[in-house]
Structure formats: C-alpha cells, structure tokens
Structure 1
Amino acid sequence: MKKDLASPSKLKKESITEINDNLVSYMNTMAKVDPTTYEATAKTMAELIDKNNELVKRRKKQRWQTANWFKAKAKGFTLCEALCFLMIPLQARD
C-alpha cells in the first residue's frame, strides 16, 4: 500500500509545476479577458509568488554566509562548540 504514496518532494514538484504551467497562465489570460473579475486575484497571486521567491533567495544567501563564516572562524572547535555557533543568528556572531 505504501508503494502507491507519493513522496513529499514529488508532490511539491508536481504542485509547483501545476501552479506555474496552468494556474498562473490561466489567471493571467483571464485577467486580460475579464479584468474586473480576475485582475485583483491575478495581481495577488503575482505578489505572493514574488514574495515567496524573495524569501527563498534570502534563505539560500543566509546558508551560504553561514557556511563561509563557519569555515573562516570556527576552525579548531569541538563538534559541540561548532553546533552551538550554528544556532546563533548570523547577525549576532560578528
């Protein structure tokens, strides 16, 4: 029975594909055809997608900064000390 279940990663990928390929295109088309009905929803969707994309970019940048900080400053620490440093927010470290 478990073989029939999709993994969360696969579901996420399928959802993103469905949203990008079908829903966004449909809403953009409908916003042009009937702006009074669909324009506000299409605009809200675009804003949410932009905001989400910006958050993803920030997370990637923060991971990169954390890794570089750790390489530069945490040499010679024990594993426990290193893990404690990783839990401190990046801004509080320097």
Structure 2
Amino acid sequence: MSEELLKGYDEHARRGQRLRQAGVLALAAFVTIMLGIYFGGVFFGARSLEVMLALQGKKEQLKSDIEQLKQENAALQKKYFELKMLFEAAK
C-alpha cells in the first residue's frame, strides 16, 4: 500500500514538474517574442536607428548648405552695397 502511495506521489510530483517546465518554457517564449517585436521596432520602425542615422546625415547636409548660403549672401550683400555706393556717387 505504501509503495502504491509513493508511486502515486512520485507520479504527481513529475506532473507538477512537467507543468512548471512547460510554464517556464511558455514564459521564455513569450519574453523572446516580445523582445523580438521591441527590437524589430527599434531597428526598423518609425523611430528606428536607421531613421535616426539618416536624419543625422540630413542634418549635416543642411548645416553645410547653410554655410554655403551664408557665404553667397555675404558676397551678394557686398555687391549690393558697392552698387548702391556707385548709384549714390552718380547722383
């Protein structure tokens, strides 16, 4: 009788252990899937690393364009004031 009882208890303990292992496995799979979704969004989503790097490149290009336009503006202002002085001297 005690042998049957121990056998039943052992069987019950094994089932409990299998259920815990299945639970841990399910939790690990869930966490893995959620992390995959999160990192997929980080690397390929609207706020992704790729978008950030592209925007940084565009920012540098715009800074370069601003400097070029400032130089062109300075040259045009110089020309404007020279012409203005010639016009006033001709009066």
Give the alignment's TM-score, normalised by structure 2: 0.43
| Larger RCO, structure (CA 8 Å, separation 6 or more) | 1
Instruction: Looking at secondary structure, tell me which structure has more helix per residue.
Output: 2
Larger radius of gyration: 2
Give the alignment's TM-score, normalised by structure 1: 0.42
